[in-house]
Structure formats: C-alpha cells, structure tokens
Structure 1
Amino acid sequence: MLSIKELEDLFVPLLQNCINVKELKKIHTQIVKFSLSQSNFLVTKLVDVCDNKGDLEYASLLFKKVNQPNLFLYNALIRAYTHNHVYREAVDVYKQMFTDPKREKNSILPDKFTFPFVIKSCAGLMCCLLAKQVHAHVCKFGPKSHSITENSLMDMYIKCDDISDAHKIFDEMTERDAISWNSLISGHVRVGQMRRARALFDEMPYKTIVSWTAMISGYTRIGYYGEALDVFRQMQMVGIEPDEISIVSVLPACAHLGALELGKWIHMYCDKSDLLKKTNICNALVEMYAKCGCIDQACQLFDQMLEKDVISWSTMIGGLANHGKAHEAIELFLRMQSANVEPNGVTFLGLLSACSHSGLWSEGLMYFDSMRKDYHIEPGVEHYGCLVDLLGRSGRLDQALDIIKEMPMKPDSKTWGSLLSSCRTYSNLEIAVIAMEHLLEIEPEDTGNYVLLSNIYADVGKWEAVSRLRKLVSKNTKKTPGCSLIEVNNEVQEFLSGDDRKPFSEDIFWLLELLSSHQDLTKDMIDIMTEDTSE
C-alpha cells in the first residue's frame, strides 16, 4: 500500500512532461480518482502548468476546489496571474490570504516568494496607494533584507513615478546588485532627471549593458545627442559591445547630429553581428541614412530588409519626401498597399509632406481625405499643418485659411508660421496680418515672424509699417544665435555664433584670417592682371 507522499511523487514526472491543458485535465482526473484532489502539493503543480500554458480560468477552478489552500498554493496562483498580466486578480488572491473564510485559522502570512509578484502586480496597476499598503506588509511580515523584494519595491515606485520613495529603499539596502542600480538610474531617466541619473551612473561600481543603454536612451530622449554619442563611445572603450537596444537608442542621436561616420560603423557592426535581421535596427539605420542625406543608402538597405513593418515603410516614405522625391514616395506607398501593410498617421504625414514639397496639392487633398475615410485615422495637428503648407505653397491661401478655421484642435505656431511664409511668397498682406495676430499670442518673441511680415509690407510698398516693425524687433526681441554642426574624426562639434570658448577657437580664427588675407591677395592680383590686359 503506497503512502500519500509516494502517490504524489508518481504524478510529478507526468506533470513535468505535460504538453497541453487537454493532457493536464486527464492527469487531474487521475489525481481525483486517487482521492488526491485536496493535495496542496499536486494542485500547486497543476496551477504551475496552467501558468505556463496560460489557462488561468482552469487554474482558478483548481484553487477554488481546495478546502485548505496553503501558502505554496496561494503563491502559485498569484504568480500565475502576475505572469499573465492579470494584476487585479493577483492582488485579490493576496487579500484572500488574510481573510479566507474556508480556513480554520484566520490567515496565512506571506513570505519572500509572495511579495515580488504582488508588488509587480501593484506596479502593473499603477496604484500608488495600494503600493504603499503592500510595502507596509513587507515591513511587517517580510524578511528584513531581501534584494529581490527590495528591487521589486523600487521598480513599483518608479513605475508610479515616485522616485523619492524608490531612493529611500535604495539608500536603506544593505546589498545592492546591478538590478538595484539600473532600476534607480532608469527611474531618473524615465522622469528626465539626467543629472541625477548620471551621478548614480558614475558612482555605480560595476556597469552593465543595461546601465549604459539607459544613459544613451535618456540623453537621446531629451535631445542631448552629443552626450548620447559620448556615452556610447565610452561604453566601447571599456570593452562592452553594443546590443540591439543600445544600437536602436544611439542611432537617432547619429541622425540628429549628422554623425554619418559613426552611423556607418554601426551598420558594419550590425552586419558582422548578424543584427540586420532585426527589423527595428534596420528601421533606425534607414532613418539615420535618410536624415544624414544618404537617401540612396537608405533605399538600398530598405530593399534588403527581410521583414518590413509599418515603421519601415513610413520611415522610407518620409525620407523620400524630405529629399524632394515626391513621386518615389507615392510609388512606395502604393507598394505598401500592395504588400497589405496598414498605414498609420506617420505614413500619411510623409505622404502629405511629399505632396507639399512638390506642389501636388490635389494629390495631397486626396490622401488627407483617404486617411479619414479609408483608414479611419483622425488627423493630428501635424497633418493639418502639412495640408496648410501644401495649399499655401500652391498659392491657395484662402483655402489654407479655411482649413485652419475648421481644425478640431487649436492650430500651433508651425501651422500659422507656414501660412505666413506662404503669404510672403504670394505678397498676401491681408491673410498675413491674420496669421501674425495668432503668432503674437503663441510666440511673441520669435523674430522670424516679424521679419517675414516686414518683408511682406516691403513687397507691397508700405515702408512706414516696415520701419515700425524693425524698431519693434530691435527693442523687444532677442535673436537666437546661429548654430552649425560638423563631424570631425567621428566626433561632432557644435559652433554657436559669437561663441569663442572652445579650446581651438584661436586656431580657427587664425586660419580664417589667413584665408581672408589670401582671398584679398588673390583679388588684388586679379585686379592688376585685369588692368594690364585693358591697357
């Protein structure tokens, strides 16, 4: 006669090798046949299989049939719900541990295996109040020091945008692993606190690829592209090879700064590392090439892609549009439709931009209507701005103004600025004044708008108005200094007008004076030769 423990052990290998829920139910039938349906050990194993197969309904049914569920069974069900992102039910099961009416004793106390999953469910629910209640339970019932639980708490507070409480947990930890450091760094990056993130990053004893990538993506997100490239280079110098996420994070910085040489190196690295099979990496490379002016390389890479998603098509259409290749962009959109890829708002933004740069106003209006009628995509302010620019460039200023008046949202400065620019092209003072009135409300200190209006007044011969505007500009506004970027030896240098703080500024000024004097000398020689010839 076998004991209960021996009978339970007989079912363990069957459950370990179970391939689907249908087979699981057959095993469950045998468990019931042997009167083991109240075995917490076997039901826990059954729930674990349900967790792996994603059948939470059957897992819940198994749990409810047990009269006296123990801590292991509770943990298994909470874990199953959390793994499958059913966070509310996970928290409800956790509450039931303390108030289960079926138990002879009033409650079961959670342990270190309970809290990480309950905490993750709280983070998934984004409920700060609930998070603090569970944290109180950790302090009351949990172990005094358990890095997995503490890291889970940090992650929970970070997802609730409570960096202060996450910092408190970090400061009180007796042992910090890479996950602890990376969580807090990522938390500061998440809310845009890059200085504090950098201070933690510099203090971190052992940096992982996650640490470096968090800094790169953080700098890229807030527009500090030079810093993103610096961190990427430092990562390589310490011997850490880029992975998929770090590459996707740094390529937008290359695109914005025009760091083409670094972008090409990344392309070669991805080719050698067999990463070009990744659609997201190819998308980022295509965007980088397009923004760096290498549209042919972008097209070549796009055509070589194994799998193209909507981002791939939209990026390429937008790149062609920005390079004035309107007909190629439209042709690519037709190929996209033939490939049965559903376009999105970005796709139509590229199409409208292509039509705008090539004066295809009727095609632009057609695509704008198609976006709403055929694909049920509601136009955003960017789409309306593109349409206004398209009509304005085509001289249809009254129609462009009507579009602005019909917009369901408030027009932004780019939309009005585009209309004002078109008014300069066609010397339309009446609509220009309307556009300027709105621009004065949105961005009163932008000198470019005043200059445009002044030029329109000059075009129609209203010189008194030109004089008044110029006085107003010189008195009340400040001009933003010009800026240029150049890549030298894989490093991007930024130059601001009037800025002589760079260590090599003196050398640059000396060389410019030399070139200027050489130009003057050349001009004098040409004048002398011309005089001799005329004589």
Structure 2
Amino acid sequence: MATKTGVLTIKGLEDMLMPILRNCKNIAHMKKIHSQVIKFSLTQSNFLVAKMIDFCDKIGAIEYASLLFKHVEEPNIYLFNSMIRAYTQKHMYVSCIDVYTMMMRQLKREEPIFPDSYTYPFVIRSSGGLLSADLGKQFHGHVCKLGLESNNVIENSLLNMYVKCEEISEAHKLFEEMAMRDVISWNSLISGYLKLGKVRRARTLFEEMPDKNIVSWTTMISGYTKIGCYGDALDVFRRMQMAGVKPDWISLVAVLPACAHLGALEVGEWIHFYAAKNGLLRRTCVCNALMEMYSKCGNVNKAWQVFNEMSDRDVISWSTMIGGLANHGRAHDAIGLFKEMEKTNVKPNEITFVGLLSACGHANLVDEGLRYFDSMRDDYKISPDIEHYGCLVDLLARAGNLNRALEIIRSMPMKADSAIWGSLLSSCRTHRNLETAVVAVEHLFELEPDDTGNYVLLANIYADMGKWDCVSAMRRFIRSKSMKKMPGCSLIEVNSVVQEFVSGDNSKAFSKDIYQVLQLLALHQSKASNIIETTNGDEFLDIHFL
C-alpha cells in the first residue's frame, strides 16, 4: 500500500508540475521548474524529463537538454526518442547516433528497450545528414529485423537518406518495393535524379506521378534551373499554372533565375505582379530574385525600385543591387550604395566585393578599387577568391597598368583561369601591348586550346600593329587545326514564350515561315533603296513595309 501511495504521490506531483511546464516561457523559468523537480526527487521521472527536453529543444537549449538526459539512470523509449529528436533537429547527428547506440545496449538488459517507429525516422535522417550510406544501410537492416519496413514514414526517411547519399540505385530499388508510395516518395526520387543531373529520368518519373503537388512542380523547375535548362524550367512553370496549381514563394524563387538568364522580362514582370498581389514581397528572398531578374533583363531602374521598397534587406539584397548597378555602368551609384551599406548592421560578403570591384573597373577608379581590395582583407577579414583577383586584374588592365596586372596574376595564391587571362588579352589590344598579349595567349592556349576566339583576338592585335605576316601565320594555324567558331545564338520572348535561335539552325517547326518573312523584308528593303537612289534628295519619301 505504501508503494501504491508512493506511486500516486509521484503521479500527483507530475500532474501538478505539468501545467507549469506547459506555460514555461524561457530557460530561466525552466531552471526554476527543474529546481522543483529536484526538490521533490523527480529527477528520474522519464515523463517529466522528456517534457523538459522537448521544451529545451523548442527554445534551442540543447546543452541543457543533454544534461537533463544524462542524469536519468534508466531512460525509457519515450525519453530516448525525445533526445534523439532534439539532437537531429539541431543537426547534431553524431550525438543522435550515440544516443541510439546507447539505446541498443539496453537490449541486453532483462527488460530490453526496443527502438520503435518514432525512433528510426530521426536516426535515418541523421545518417543522411552525415552522408553515410553505410550507416544508413545498417539502420535499414535494423528496421527490417524489427519488422518496421512497411511503415511509410520510415520508408520515406530511408528513401530520402539514399537520395542525399547519392545512392540512387538503392533509392529506386526501395521505391519499387514500397507497398504504398505517397507524394513524398515520388518527390524524393525525382529530386535524387535531378541532383545527379539525370533530367530525362526525373522527367519520366514526374510525368508518371499520379498526384503532383506544389513541391513536385517546384522540384522540377528548380532542377531544370540548376543545370541551365532555363527554357524547360519556364515550360514546367507554365504547365503548373495550367494544371491549376497556385505558385508559392519557393516556386517563384526557383523560376526567376530562368527568367533572368533567358531575358524573359514579360514573365518576370507577371511574377512581380503576382507576388505583390499575393503578399509574397514580404519575403526577402523573393525580392532578391526579382532584383536579379530585372538587372539581368536590362531594367536596373526596376530592380532599384524593388530594393527601395523592401522592408527587410539582407546581405544578398545589398550585393545583388550593387552588382546590378555595376553591370549597367552605374559605378558611382554602386559605390554610393556600398557606403550606405557600411552604415547598416549588414556586413558585406564575398559577393558584395565582386560587385564593388567590378564597379570600380567599369568607372576606371583604380585607387578606389585597390583600397576596397585591401579593405576586404584587412577590415572584413575576407580572403580574396579568384573572382576578386579577376576584378582587380581587369581594373588594372583597363587602366593600362598591364605590367602590374601581370604581377598580380603571378602572385595570386591560386592558378589564374581563362577569364583572367582573357581579360588581360583584351586590354592588351586596347593598349597595343604585344609583349603582354603573347604571354596571355600562351596561357590561354594551354587552358583553352580549342577556343578560336583567343587566336582571332591575337590576330587582330597583330593587324592593329600592322604585322600582317603574323596575321597570315595565325590564320594558317587556325585552318591547320580545323577549328570552327561556335555558332552564335539569340533569344526572343513572344507572348511570354522564349524561343532560342542558333545561327544556321532551321530545325524549328516555323523556320520556313521565318525565312519567307525575311525574304519579303529583304525584297522591300531592296525596292526602297532603289527608290531612294532614283529620287531627288530634297524630296521626302514615306516608305511603308508590310
């Protein structure tokens, strides 16, 4: 009876503390409750400690949660699962695996504790976070041994783990064996194929998918955008709307880079209107993507408007706007914006200085560029990357300081790429410096032996300096290597559809119609020229084209 009374007393104390614990607001309040738990000798109460760990997980006090757990001598499955979940959600994957290992040791006790369906989704996620397929396969074996393999949540966790570890064959095998596939299963496998660049296989699965949600469409859009298939990304975005699926902020951020690269300004403007109408401009990442789209589509003033209307700006916002202004020749505006940024609490990053140094290069502000390059290292402790050195070389080369630019290249901590040597070669033509041009070309020949543009540029430098023998020799060299220049291409947006045209390509279904219109225009132009030549120059002609 005493034992029963004791149990009832403990239960009563737990019931008394639970409402207080539910209303806990911060860690200081939690510590007061913990003191009461200690006072009433309830530190071994799995129920109370698990609830305290859940609260610590909620407010981010994971170290305190860990101390609570370690003081329990005989944790039950509920407490183990609480600690495993807390570690996983804070990305402390190794600690999660350690707790699971501790749980497995309990199997040797007289009253063993077996992992359950709430345990494995988190430990499997931890193995995926560690990118350890071997560890994940061990958990897969444990799941099968305990008869939990038919649990849909666990199966999806395993599938996602294999995808993260790039074990796509294992993921697909599991997918085929699943008794019940939900939209999460399909999305995980599709994203796995896209991650590995297997777009056709991903698209096939996408088309076979019985029920697509917003995540399915966004996954395809994002996958196409990341591998540079921007036209396909826009096509899927258009199909998503035709299917009646309303875009969310994630899908907008996924498709806007495709608009930027294709110059699809009409689609980008529609997205801007849609985002404003649906309250999505409160998302900083949506505004950042809109700014990049407008800048790359040539409308930097609209990007500037978006920037000025933002309520919350992060470092990407400032960097995007500075880079956009720099790329449109508004160097002084870019520098002024950087000075304004310095007055805020937002610290510039590597991308910020790429835009800033580029602005100095466009405006020929050598001293300012050198000062900002030093400030990046000294004041902001940012180690210059190859892009920063490229901007510095371009800045010096544009200003005619070719020897100093060459010294910078030779003193770089990394090997110069073709972009840097190409920038130096281009400035050599502007400043008629053959000696440095030859040095640049020698490195470009090594880095890009099949790029005819470098050979042609050197030939043009020879021509500018009247060295026609060298020009002829270079042309003979190009012919001897059977080099061909890559055909040019152009893009045009009509009725929100972007079409790409490659020089000499007549594979489009409407190519015949286009050539007929061009011939008609050429005919009218020829007639107009004849009329102009045979008419008195003082007489005004009103020529209309069909």
TM-score (norm 2): 0.92
Contact residue 193 and residue 201 of structure 2 kept, 8 A: yes
- SS of match in other structure, 2:535: helix
Q: Which residue of 1 aligns with 2:484?
A: 478
Match for residue 237 of structure 1 among 219, 238, 242: 242
What are the residue-to-residue correspondences of 1:516-535 with 2, within 5 Å?
Answer: 516-530=522-536
User: 1:518–1:150: structure 2 CA closer, same or farther, 3 Å change rule?
Assistant: same
Whole-angstrom CA distance in 1 between matches of 2:439 and 2:39 = 84
1:156 aligns with 2:161: yes
Bigger mean CA deviation after superposition, 289-298 or 470-479: 470-479
Deviation at 1:449, TM superposition (A): 0.7
Whole-angstrom CA distance in 1 between matches of 2:71 and 2:344 = 51
Deviation at 1:32, TM superposition (A): 5.2
Match for residue 441 of structure 1 among 438, 446, 452: 446
1:114 aligns with 2:119: yes
Match for residue 398 of structure 1 among 387, 396, 403: 403
Deviation at 1:302, TM superposition (A): 1.1
Q: Which residue of 2 aligns with 1:90?
A: 96
Q: Which residue of 2 aligns with 1:488?
A: 494
1:180 aligns with 2:185: yes
Match for residue 78 of structure 2 among 47, 55, 72: 72
Whole-angstrom CA distance in 2 between matches of 1:206 and 1:129 = 32
User: 1:2–1:364: structure 2 CA closer, same or farther, 3 Å change rule?
Assistant: same
User: 1:300–1:172: structure 2 CA closer, same or farther, 3 Å change rule?
Assistant: same
Q: Which residue of 1 aligns with 2:353?
A: 348
May I ask how many residue pairs the two structures share in their alignment? 532
User: 1:2–1:489: structure 2 CA closer, same or farther, 3 Å change rule?
Assistant: same
User: 1:4–1:164: structure 2 CA closer, same or farther, 3 Å change rule?
Assistant: same
Match for residue 415 of structure 2 among 402, 410, 424: 410
Deviation at 1:84, TM superposition (A): 2.5
Q: Which residue of 2 aligns with 1:279?
A: 284
The letter for the 2-side match of 1:307 is D
Measured against aligned partners, the alpha-carbon deviations of 1:393-442 in whole angstroms (never above 9, x if no partner) come to 21111111111111111000011111111111122111111111100100
Contact residue 416 and residue 435 of structure 1 kept, 8 A: yes
Deviation at 1:11, TM superposition (A): 4.2
Match for residue 215 of structure 1 among 220, 228, 238: 220
User: 1:60–1:454: structure 2 CA closer, same or farther, 3 Å change rule?
Assistant: closer
User: 1:471–1:34: structure 2 CA closer, same or farther, 3 Å change rule?
Assistant: same
Measured against aligned partners, the alpha-carbon deviations of 1:350-379 in whole angstroms (never above 9, x if no partner) come to 122112222222222222222112212111
1:502 aligns with 2:508: yes
Match for residue 312 of structure 1 among 307, 317, 342: 317
Contact residue 99 and residue 106 of structure 1 kept, 8 A: no
User: 1:254–1:145: structure 2 CA closer, same or farther, 3 Å change rule?
Assistant: same
1:360 aligns with 2:365: yes
User: 1:136–1:470: structure 2 CA closer, same or farther, 3 Å change rule?
Assistant: same
Deviation at 1:262, TM superposition (A): 0.6
Q: Which residue of 1 aligns with 2:141?
A: 136
Bigger mean CA deviation after superposition, 335-344 or 268-277: 335-344
- SS of match in other structure, 1:485: strand
TM-score (norm 1): 0.94
Whole-angstrom CA distance in 2 between matches of 1:262 and 1:437 = 44
Match for residue 172 of structure 2 among 146, 167, 172: 167
Measured against aligned partners, the alpha-carbon deviations of 1:10-61 in whole angstroms (never above 9, x if no partner) come to 4443433333444444445555555554443343333333333333344334
Contact residue 111 and residue 142 of structure 1 kept, 8 A: no
- SS of match in other structure, 1:492: strand
Whole-angstrom CA distance in 2 between matches of 1:369 and 1:32 = 57
1:423 aligns with 2:451: no
Deviation at 1:494, TM superposition (A): 0.5
Unaligned ranges ≥5, structure 1: none
User: 1:98–1:261: structure 2 CA closer, same or farther, 3 Å change rule?
Assistant: same
Match for residue 7 of structure 2 among 4, 12, 19: 4
Whole-angstrom CA distance in 2 between matches of 1:188 and 1:204 = 14
- SS of match in other structure, 1:486: strand
Deviation at 1:261, TM superposition (A): 0.6
Deviation at 1:65, TM superposition (A): 3.7
Q: Which residue of 1 aligns with 2:304?
A: 299
Q: Which residue of 1 aligns with 2:50?
A: 44
Deviation at 1:138, TM superposition (A): 1.0
User: 1:445–1:69: structure 2 CA closer, same or farther, 3 Å change rule?
Assistant: same
1:196 aligns with 2:201: yes
Q: Which residue of 2 aligns with 1:331?
A: 336
Match for residue 15 of structure 1 among 21, 25, 29: 21
Contact residue 149 and residue 155 of structure 2 kept, 8 A: no
Deviation at 1:139, TM superposition (A): 1.4
- SS of match in other structure, 1:276: helix
Deviation at 1:190, TM superposition (A): 2.0
Whole-angstrom CA distance in 1 between matches of 2:510 and 2:326 = 38
Whole-angstrom CA distance in 1 between matches of 2:519 and 2:71 = 90
The letter for the 2-side match of 1:321 is A
User: 1:304–1:31: structure 2 CA closer, same or farther, 3 Å change rule?
Assistant: closer
Measured against aligned partners, the alpha-carbon deviations of 1:260-287 in whole angstroms (never above 9, x if no partner) come to 0111111111111111111111111111
- SS of match in other structure, 1:529: coil
1:270 aligns with 2:275: yes
User: 1:394–1:165: structure 2 CA closer, same or farther, 3 Å change rule?
Assistant: same
Q: Which residue of 2 aligns with 1:126?
A: 131
User: 1:201–1:437: structure 2 CA closer, same or farther, 3 Å change rule?
Assistant: same
Whole-angstrom CA distance in 1 between matches of 2:252 and 2:171 = 28
Deviation at 1:137, TM superposition (A): 0.8
Bigger mean CA deviation after superposition, 58-67 or 438-447: 58-67
Deviation at 1:124, TM superposition (A): 2.0
Q: Which residue of 2 aligns with 1:60?
A: 66
Whole-angstrom CA distance in 2 between matches of 1:471 and 1:300 = 53
Whole-angstrom CA distance in 1 between matches of 2:364 and 2:40 = 80
Measured against aligned partners, the alpha-carbon deviations of 1:266-316 in whole angstroms (never above 9, x if no partner) come to 111111111111111111111111111111111111111111111111111
The letter for the 1-side match of 2:94 is R
Deviation at 1:340, TM superposition (A): 3.7
Whole-angstrom CA distance in 2 between matches of 1:74 and 1:468 = 77
Deviation at 1:182, TM superposition (A): 1.0
Contact residue 112 and residue 142 of structure 1 kept, 8 A: no
